[in-house]
A and B are shown apart, each in its own frame.
Chain A
Amino acid sequence: MSLLEARSISKSFRGLKAVANASLEVPQGGIVALIGPNGAGKTTCFNMIAGVFAPDSGEILFGGKRIDGLRPDQICVAGIGRTFQIVKPFAGLSVLDNVIVGAFNRTKHLSEASRSASDILDRLGLGPKRDLPASSLTLPDRKRLEVARALATRPTLLLLDEVMAGLRPTECDLMVEVFRELNAKDGLTILLIEHVMRAVMALARHIVVLHHGEIIARGTPQEVVRDPAVLECYLGEETEV
């Protein structure tokens, strides 16, 4: 059974169709990547799933229940954690306190929230920086903090919005390893938007390609990278020289 199912969702902004009749499924325990050129509507899709705005039409089911139209906090409580493409750290708080805020989603007690936040920071390699103010972190660390905060809410589905952007290849591989482990050991289901193909190819078992708000291809990574429609939207149409 699929954990997340979006059935022909659409969203327009003042007549501009950002997403049109897009359907996608994320199976329980799966890792699905949503790719596409800039402006394809990937983040709009994410925002509809995460409750930032409701789809104009279509429906979104999570664990069999409709979640379209719910507020972002209700969706987080339901078990969907998300990161932001443009990172939004709580700049004035320490790294640890940032993650504790997320951990409070599943507990009322500071000691428990603090413990689970520390564990997550260690897992993401941010342990030594826990007492620094979040404002002092570098961009790669801020991306990691986004992930740590989302993980602290203990989601069953994690939405990652370009967390690899700006990371060096070695850092990227480390992140991939973390997500693989979370997926294999903790059974975390992941839906990611990503431009870094190195990460997409290493992580995703299934890829959905979005172009001009419409889904133009879907399949395994190997299938998708050979799909003429995908090549066309990324590289342009093949012409005789």
Chain B
Amino acid sequence: MLELKFTKEHEWVRIMDELAIIGISDFAQEQLGDIVSIELPKTGGVFRQGQTMAIVDSVKASSDIYAPISGEIVEVNEGLIEKPEVINQSPYDLGWIAKIKPSKMEEFESLMTREEYDRYIGQIK
């Protein structure tokens, strides 16, 4: 399993074939509740680390998803438009949100490891 890294805003990143795949963590999907829709970024869109990249709506809340690293969107998971619940069901796998071509790979190194993230959410719960 390729290494997953996490942000404080509960996004995860996995590097595969020089692309960064992005999603939200299991903790995040649980907090949001049943997701009813997602506003995906357009391919070709360029985002800075920390910039709002997508918006996820549950029945009672609307949440920003921030780009965990800077780069250009090369692919988005269009299937989520019809079936946003996949994010709840499979947040790390089928529920991936976008693939980015990273512009600053150093940003990936500075994200939290799995253990660091688990400790982090242990504190904030």
Do A and B associate with each other? no
Q: Which residues of B does A touch, CB under 8 Å?
A: none
Q: Which residues of A does B touch, CB under 8 Å?
A: none
